[in-house]
Amino acid sequence: MAPGGVAVVTGGTGGLGSAVVDCLAKEGGHVVSCGSGKPAGDARPAKGGQSIHRMSFDVTDEKAVDAAFAEIHKRWGGLDTLVHCAAVAADHLLPQTSQAEWERILSTNLTGAMHCMRAAGRIMLRRRRGHIIAVSSFTALRGARGLSAYSASKAGLIGLSRSLAAELGGRGVRVNVVCPGMLDTPMGRAAPAEAWESQERESLLGRGQSVDEVAAFIATLAGMQNVSGQVLNIDSRPAPWS
């Protein structure tokens, strides 16, 4: 993100999202940290040219998302970066997955992403520039036992992002996907011990990725002007060709 720009981070109060907010804020400009059930307003006072703001909306609520992005556009006159981190997960085998749980995960992780990416894209098209970064998952590339709904939603996010990159690229808007492995976040810590053991065993480095390093990668990617339509595996486990 260019100094003085405007960035929105959904899931900005979560483990990875909050780290992304901090990284983007170091570059100056305005960073809007979005979550659900959190009070709106400034999260921290401006410092060194940066300001961090907090907004509250449910990504599954189309009207709430559109209203939030309209307010962002009205307040700052545009949008340079969207990092979509908002997601939920549940660890159940598919035969034990209820319809309600399936719909909750797909509604948040895929339909919610569509709402935010569509709203951001509309703003970015007006100025013929911007960058949308979707946070998917290593499980989208290979699948994972007990995470059928989550894996499906994150794989769908890749297809959505690649299609959007093709649709918006001709008008200067970049769209990319980042696929981290398991991270030391509240969501990651809820995973069973065997999942962590499997990641460490399969890692070429014998260890997982850190939240801060993934956040720093996303912040660096946000400022890259000539990369779009890519699926970037941020892990040390070999992944299928993308």
User: So which residues are the catalytic ones?
Assistant: 150
What whole-number distance in Å separates Cα of residue 163 and Cα of residue 176? 10
* C-alpha 57: how far from chain center: 15
What whole-number distance in Å separates Cα of residue 104 and Cα of residue 89? 9
What whole-number distance in Å separates Cα of residue 151 and Cα of residue 148? 5
Burial class (CB in 10 A: 0-12, 13-18, 19+), 142: middle
Phi-psi region of 190 (alpha: psi -120 to 50; beta: other; left: phi over 0): alpha
Strand partners, 77: none
What whole-number distance in Å separates Cα of residue 81 and Cα of residue 24? 10
Cβ-contact 184, 195 below 8 angstroms: no
